[in-house]
Amino acid sequence: MRARREAAALGGLLLFALGWLWLALRLPLWEYVQPGPGLFPAIAAGLSVACAAAALAVTRRDATEEDAPEWRRLFVYLAVVLLWPASFAAAGFVASSLVALTLLLALGERLGWLAAMGSAAAATGAGWLLFDRLLGVPLP
């Protein structure tokens, strides 16, 4: 019973990621000598498709009820995935990414708050340096 629910959830996630990839590929991936607005969404969607497909492939049929998913963690991930892109317009890339990654690491992965903030700051800074400074991609 649990394995069926897990497979159904992963199948839904895979379909969502495929739709996201289809939308991302409708945007230009490259413009002249710089990445286009569709490059980062296409990469993220492609990774989501690959991860969902891999997770679906290894779903165990003999799972027991003891292995039930942790709904709180799943809710944190779902909330961040939905709210993070929506917050770009109001807070910008750096602030929204810093908050989203901190919440994911602290609540989703149960890292300490200090470690989560440090890791989120490092990842956000690296993303900003890579895309804004090195590649010249305009970030929100």
Q: Where are the domains of the chain?
A: 1-68, 70-140
Query: Angle, to 10 degrees, between the axis of helix 39-57 and the axis of helix 2-25?
Result: 160
Predicted pLDDT at 61: 47
**pLDDT tens readout for residues 54-91:** 777 777 544 554 555 677 788 888 888 888 888 888 88
The set of residues, in sequence order, having a beta carbon less than 8 Å from that of 140 and lying 6+ positions away, is: 88, 89, 92, 93
Q: Which helix (H) or strand (E) holds 72?
A: helix 71-103
pTM above 0.75, yes or no: no
Tell me the C-alpha distance between 19 and 13, whole Å.
10
Residues of the chain below pLDDT 50: 61-62, 65
